[in-house]
Amino acid sequence: MTAIRVLLALVGIGCAAYGVTLLLDQNPQDLLSVAIWFGAGIVVHDGVFAPLATAAGLAGRRILPRRWWAPLAVGAAGTVGLAAVAIPVLGRSGAVAGNTTVLDRDYGLGLASAILVVWAVVGIAELCRPSRITGLRAADRSRPDDPRA
Amino acid sequence: MTRLEQLQRTVFRHPGGPRGPELASRIGLALGTAVVVCFVTGLLSHWIQHPPAWFDWPTDPVWLYRFTQGLHVTSGIAAVPLLLAKLWSVYHRLFEPPVVGGIVRLLERASIAVLVGSMIFELTTGLLNIAQWYPWKFFFPTTHYAMAYIAIGSVTVHVAVKLPVVRRALGSPLEAGRADGGVSRRAVLLGVAVASSSAVVAVVGQSVPAVRRLSVLAPRSGQGPQGVPINRTAAAAGVEALARDPNYALTVVVGGIARTFAPAALAALPQRTVTLPIACVEGWSVSASWSGISVVDLVAAAGGEVTGDVSFQSLETSGIYGRSVLPVRHARDERTLIALTLNGEPLDIDHGYPCRLIAPSRPGVLQTKWLSRIEAS
């Protein structure tokens, strides 16, 4: 396994170094813009999105009954996934001037309907067979809520 | 237990909660698969547009580029929720002591920053590009291409570093080390699958017409003049007056000798009708019926034969998309047309009137519109 790991590491470092040389062909203004977007991605995730997601999880665990956690987590994951891919189209219908064939949907309505469908599926699945989502046995489900939570 | 450890346990439920290598490695496997597919299909698209000497792209099946580029965008979309979930599953490690530490610790943190930064950069810029949104200074194609090597390289290094942990974690039961009856890892994986597949369904209809109506977040509904969307309009290209000029004629240069063909002369040449997809680098694609003159027939009418690559010049002279080079394999294919009609009607001006190139299995950006000059060696 050591040989494979060393090989992977060398190939990886080689690829990344090649990528850096390609990037460095750009002029300083473009490079600055690349650096800003690179850094902003990390800052927005680690400093904004992840703390908010963690806080939401913490709050949910404090407020909501334990048997709701799993279905709500599934629904929330679906919501976040849809919202993330909606960012570049939301509110941008018709944003490309003179071209009506791009951004040609009502994305607010689209996102709302897609989220609704996700929650409806989660709700139906939970009503029909709760253990499917939670993966817990009946014994676990009847256990009193963990006071530590 | 120190206070910091207690705080970590409360905030992240780690250890004991769903976070841990058993979860992270399973999400990582799915994310890694999407990233490799995305990288390979992206590389293919790059090579088609900037072919190295050894590279040869087939004309069959005609939908091959439509498939590979649809897969590129779709795997990127699938990777967005997977990346968020992967980062969620290991986020607590950012706060693990020592927060600063020695040189090895700093190097480890720096390598993770490159991995996270390049992955977020690739998915963000790709996602914004398919919606034609460019809130930055750099040129998207070259930067997205360069950063792809940094992303795939840092993923490979990460796999090299984590391989023993990953092997152990994938060999352990999913719920190993879970302490209580809260959210199971199984439920988290189900949530990740729901998030990734609903994101895919919400966009994939721009590449797969059968599910078009379900793809409520696709930047393209698939509508457009003559049933085909447009990327660059005649107005944006600044070619309206030239394209509608009554004295318009297509110049065909064969063996250094130029001949011109007025629209009536083009229409008088033997016409062929073929069904070919137009497939954009942005992932959307539509199949359509095109008719016009085969490039081989046109070159023959100009007194020559296709023996090498053929170059195409548009009436659009500004920018980098007004010119393309068609490899000899595609130029010799009889289905490669100088199209005059689209779905039974004369080409709409935004589709390249008076005539455009349409060849099998090529990116839309190389299917040059508003042709002014064709050169065969």
- Quick: pLDDT tens for A11-42: 999 999 999 999 999 999 999 999 999 999 99
Spell B36-75 as b/e; 16+ CB within 10 A means b. ebbbebbbbbbebbeeeeeeebebeebbbbbbbbbbbbbb
Rounded Cα gap, residues A138 and B280, in angstroms: 52
Contacts of A26 in chain B (CB under 8 A): 138-139, 142-143
State both tokens at B20: 């841990």
Give the one of B121, B124, B229 whose C-beta lies nearest to A102's C-beta.
B229
* Cα of B83 vs its chain's centroid, Å: 18
Closest residue, chain A, to B83 (C-alpha) = A81
Q: Chain A to chain B, count of Cβ pairs less than 8 Å apart?
A: 263
Give the pLDDT band (50/70/90) at residue A135: low
| Closest CA–CA distance from residue B131 to any residue of chain A (Å) | 6
- Quick: pLDDT tens for B258-293: 999 999 999 999 999 999 999 999 999 999 999 999
Find, among A124, A129, A90, the residue nearest to A107 by Cα.
A90
The H-assigned helical ranges of chain A are 2-23, 28-43, 50-63, 66-86, 107-128, 130-134, 138-141
The amino acid at residue B362 is R
Q: What is the pLDDT of residue B194?
A: 97
Q: What is the pLDDT of residue B93?
A: 92
- Quick: pLDDT tens for B141-195: 999 999 999 999 999 999 999 999 999 999 999 999 888 778 999 999 999 999 9
Q: What is the mean pLDDT of chain B?
A: 95
Suggest the residue from B80, B155, B216 to mutate for an interface test with chain A (most A CBs closer than 10 A).
B216
In terms of Cβ atoms closer than 10 Å to its own Cβ (0-12, 13-18, 19+), residue A58 is: middle
Rounded Cα gap, residues B124 and B158, in angstroms: 21
Inspect the interface and report whether the beta carbons of A23 and B182 lie closer than 8 Å.
Answer: no
State both tokens at B148: 């792809």
ipTM, 2 dp: 0.94
Cα dihedral: A105, A107, A110, A111 (round 10): 160
Contacts of B155 in chain A (CB under 8 A): 12
Task: For residue B250, list its beta bridge partners.
Answer: B261
Is A112 in the B-facing interface, judged by CB distances under 8 Å?
no
Contacts of A30 in chain B (CB under 8 A): 137-139, 143
- Quick: pLDDT tens for B105-120: 898 899 999 999 999 9
- Quick: pLDDT tens for B79-94: 999 999 999 999 999 9
Q: What is the pLDDT of residue B150?
A: 98
- Quick: pLDDT tens for B306-342: 999 999 999 999 878 899 999 999 999 999 999 999 9
- Quick: pLDDT tens for B46-80: 999 999 999 999 999 999 999 999 999 999 999 99
